Structure 1
């Protein structure tokens, strides 16, 4: 079993010493020329590999960009949530109902008289935080509106000076008028 195929062929007389040396020599030359790396891939295979690598890099970049956008979106949502939570006005013991709309639904929160007056005057605003509604100062509502306008539900404009052409300027709206 220790005999190689070349030795076996030589013993059988099928090849002579000279052909054996030529075969060994040509084998060594081939290995030396190829640099012991095996056969070189042809140009088409190299181009296909480069295209595949470029496509993979593009997919990776796109996936990374999407992940960064999602992370930025989550960070902005958390920032808004923290902003509303830290600056909300406490509404404990509110006896007056303040009605407002959220999309197509009519919603109601209970506030005290002072908060109701400030909501009507435009010094407080109602914002949505997840599934709840919070009352915040108008400055905070402006900051929330800058980040996501859909979260600010009620922000009345402060009463400006009266218009000279207003035909109803002589008529006062009662303070206790509620809708």
Structure 2
């Protein structure tokens, strides 16, 4: 196939002198460039920049998708922990009130659950738009994954031994010296 220059010459749009001058100019440009360097084309630069921008955009999008997938996995883990460890509060007659999102909420629990909630042995968790009661160990595992899911978890006192304390009925005298 003939070059563009030959086609222009045939059509009469260019003459021999101009074609020779252009060829000489291109030859001089190539000779003046140091060896090993290639003439950089603007379209190549723009295309490379566009590819780099697209790659960066794709990376950001992929990172966002990955974070959303991690968030969903964490929520699934929390739901599973709550489903397997929730306590039955169906026989609750005592109302236990707590604050969630600046509103006072109320759960009906029995006296034992209310006592354990106040002592920090049990916690109230908000999952799937419901309040559930779980043990404090499970609540701490949930806190590791998402702090916002645990609504109520009181600090456990170190001197709180519990109901199975053999010396619960004995008072400690004030004048006892150690």
1:53 maps onto 2:70 in alignment: no
Residue 124 of structure 2, aligned match among 123, 126, 144: 126
Residue 145 of structure 1, aligned match among 143, 146, 154: 143
Aligned length: 124
DSSP 3-state at the match of 2:141: helix
Task: Tell which structure's C-alpha radius of gyration is larger.
Answer: 1
Residue 158 of structure 1, aligned match among 149, 156, 159: 156
- In the superposition, the TM-score normalised over structure 2's length comes to 0.64
Which blocks of at least 5 consecutive residues in structure 1 are unaligned?
1-40, 163-169, 171-179
Shift of 1:105: 0.4
1-structure distance, mates of 2:63, 2:78: 23
Shift of 1:74: 1.0
Which blocks of at least 5 consecutive residues in structure 2 are unaligned?
1-38, 161-172, 174-178
Report the RMSD for the aligned CA atoms in angstroms. 2.1
1-structure distance, mates of 2:151, 2:40: 66
1:100 maps onto 2:98 in alignment: yes
Shift of 1:42: 6.7
Q: 2:87 corresponds to which residue?
A: 89
Residue 80 of structure 1, aligned match among 68, 78, 81: 78
Shift of 1:159: 3.0
DSSP 3-state at the match of 2:97: strand
Shift of 1:95: 0.8
